[in-house]
Amino acid sequence: MTNTDVSKVFDELADLLEIQGANPFRVRAYRNAARTVGDLAESVADIVSVDAGRLRDLSGIGDDLAKKIATIIQTGELPQLNELREQVPQGVRDMLRVAGLGPKKAAALWKELSITSLDQLKQAAEQGQIASLKGFGKKTEQHILEGLSQVEQAGQRVYLADAKPLADAIVADLAKLPAVKQVSAAGSVRRLKETVGDLDVLATADDSAGPMDALAKHSLVEKVLARGETKQRVRLKGGLEMDLRVVPEKSYGAAMQYFTGSKEHNIVIRRRAQERGLKLNEYGIFRGDEQVAGRTEEDVYAAVGLPWIPPELRENRGEIERAECGELAKLKLIELDDMRGDLHMHTTATDGNASIREMVDGAKARGLKYIAITDHSKRVTMANGLDATRLRAHWKEIDKVRQQVSGIEVLRGIECDILEDATLDLPDDVLAEADWVVAVLHYGLKQPQDQIMKRLLTAIRSPYVSVIGHPSARIVGKRPPVAWNLDEMLRAAADHGVMMDINAHPSRLDLDDVSAAAARDLGIPIVISTDAHAVTGLDVMQYGIYQARRAGLTAKDVANTRPWGEFKKLLRRK
């Protein structure tokens, strides 16, 4: 349990007591305790483990609160809070997440209008029932509706592509402050997770007021939700929330390691520290009362007998063992500059909004040495998919552009649907003329596993299919993967020399990181492609790189990092 965890318990306890109309002095005591613990530089867990009596030395912490802190640390909960949760409906507690609704107003809505859920709250506000309550009014009612909208947004995870630019911009601006010595994003953004629930930023500064004041005034910030001595929580425009923590320089590495996560990874690291007679928390690594590491992450990992582990790999999926045997010390994860080609993109021939030449010029401007133009096959009627006649005419246009440009190779490709009946959308004689064939599932995605596998295996066994594009057909957070047998599909791909795609579009990122690592382990070349439908769409390649890094891929694992002379050898028919 961290100081933040303990602080949250006391804050929630104060909220529930206030909803029940408890003595204001009692409520204030818990609020003060939450603030004291939340702003404390030293870990209360460490205090409890060494001498719990020292808790009474903290401002506003007497015998009763000291005992409660010890209970929270030792058991992970507080019986008094559990009792209050039973007495106050969850929906009433959820109202406290709505901007402008404190415990007193939540209590009034519960007791006077019998509202016990956010859905009921929204309905009452839309019907004008809240405005008639004493102390509310029309303006408050409107603010409640706006706050409910923000709660809905804040409760959703957003794509990394939406969250990371916000974190990067804030970090860059804070880094410009003279008072800020170090600053970086942590959490799931630093681990490059596909989706992000909120943002974490850590900084070191002699005085926390400077970076906190700057963040409060930042153009991306809508509202300051809470502020203490070392931590500030804000809501960004659009609903995403962010925590800024200002930590001592001697603790910066430990805080980065702790707040980067993942939880599963950190549990193992903490256990390794304990096995060595050390204590590890967000403030550092300690032997007794002496801090022995924590200024840098490298020091933290070294103290537990490991080399530094890249943040993208910190998921407790074998990275500890790989680090321990020395494998990670020589691992160089793939970078954007390693890419030489992009092998999935669309033009105005189907549903793209740029011509062949515009896509070629855009790719060349980004330093690419080869691309494949892969417009849709005829099954995708909504995208004006190409039949055999139109496709061959389209390829002739590609041939013309080939003759007009230099310094980049342009492949005649097709994104060919794998149909519901397990046949390909174009005949073999047409596919045989292509330089590059991306086989995909677009329709019939709810078919049973047997039929899905029959379709995938049909494509893999075709002598003309180069790669399986966005293989699971998932949409992140919106559509689940098809019912497939990943192991069977990958083994077939390895046997037949078919590559596997990481579609770099932020809503796809398919293959996912676990599946891409499994493909790598079978020696299957991975292709990272943008599926661009415009010149600017070529820029999402970075997100495919992020996914590949989470899979632990290096440049040699990815086919389109190879120079053209090497890559074209992969185009030979199977």
Whether cis (ω within 30° of 0) applies to the bond prior to 262 is yes
Is the same domain home to 12 and 99? yes
Q: In this structure, what CATH number is given to the domain that contains residue 314?
A: 3.30.210.10
Q: Are 23 and 32 in contact (CB under 8 A)?
A: no
Q: Are 44 and 73 in contact (CB under 8 A)?
A: yes
Is the same domain home to 534 and 454? yes
* Boundary-marking domain end, from 302, 330, 358: 330
For 400, residues 6+ apart whose C-beta sits below 8 A from its C-beta are: none
Q: In this structure, what CATH number is given to the domain that contains residue 222?
A: 3.30.460.10
CA distance 355 to 220: 36
Is the same domain home to 469 and 523? yes
Question: What pLDDT, on the 0 to 100 scale, is given for residue 572?
Answer: 67
Closest CA to 217 of 190, 244, 196, 193: 244
Is the same domain home to 128 and 274? no
Closest CA to 499 of 461, 466, 470: 466
Is the same domain home to 214 and 260? no
Question: What pLDDT, on the 0 to 100 scale, is given for residue 161?
Answer: 93
For 396, residues 6+ apart whose C-beta sits below 8 A from its C-beta are: none
Is the same domain home to 449 and 525? yes
Is the same domain home to 346 and 470? yes
Q: What is the 3-state secondary structure (H, E, C) of 391-445?
A: HHHHHHHHHHHHHHCCCCEEEEEEEEEECCCCCECCCHHHHCCCCEEEEECCCCC
Is the same domain home to 440 and 486? yes
Q: In this structure, what CATH number is given to the domain that contains residue 118?
A: 1.10.150.110
Question: What pLDDT, on the 0 to 100 scale, is given for residue 478?
Answer: 81
Q: In this structure, what CATH number is given to the domain that contains residue 355?
A: 3.20.20.140
CA distance 519 to 469: 14
* Boundary-marking domain end, from 246, 262, 284: 246
Closest CA to 415 of 477, 501, 489, 482: 501
CA distance 16 to 100: 16
Question: What pLDDT, on the 0 to 100 scale, is given for residue 309?
Answer: 98
Question: What pLDDT, on the 0 to 100 scale, is given for residue 1?
Answer: 67
- Sheet arrangement for strand 290-293: 279-281, 284-287, 290-293
Question: What pLDDT, on the 0 to 100 scale, is given for residue 506?
Answer: 94
Give 203-270 as a DSSP string. Answer: EEES-THHHHHHHHT-TTEEEEEEE-SSEEEEEETTS-EEEEEE--GGGHHHHHHHHH--HHHHHHHH
* Boundary-marking domain end, from 303, 330, 357: 330
Per-residue pLDDT of the chain (574 residues; tens, 9 = 90+): 678 788 889 999 999 999 999 999 999 999 989 888 876 767 888 898 888 889 998 878 999 999 999 999 999 899 999 999 999 999 999 999 887 789 999 999 999 999 999 999 999 999 999 998 988 989 889 989 988 887 776 667 899 999 999 999 999 999 999 999 999 999 999 999 999 999 999 999 989 999 999 999 999 999 999 999 999 999 998 889 999 999 999 999 999 999 999 999 999 999 999 999 999 999 999 999 999 999 999 999 999 999 999 999 999 999 999 999 999 988 999 999 999 999 999 999 999 989 999 999 999 999 999 999 999 999 999 899 999 999 999 999 999 999 999 999 999 999 999 999 999 999 999 999 999 999 999 999 989 999 999 999 999 999 999 999 999 999 998 888 999 999 999 999 999 999 999 999 999 999 999 999 999 999 999 999 999 999 999 999 999 999 999 999 999 999 999 999 999 999 865 5
CA distance 574 to 496: 7
Q: What is the number of domains present in the chain?
A: 4
Is the same domain home to 24 and 171? no
Question: What pLDDT, on the 0 to 100 scale, is given for residue 58?
Answer: 87
Is the same domain home to 369 and 436? yes
Is the same domain home to 452 and 356? yes
Question: What pLDDT, on the 0 to 100 scale, is given for residue 154?
Answer: 61
Q: Are 453 and 558 in contact (CB under 8 A)?
A: no
Is the same domain home to 271 and 389? no
Query: Domain residues for 298?
Result: 251-330
Location of structure tokens 């992009």: 342
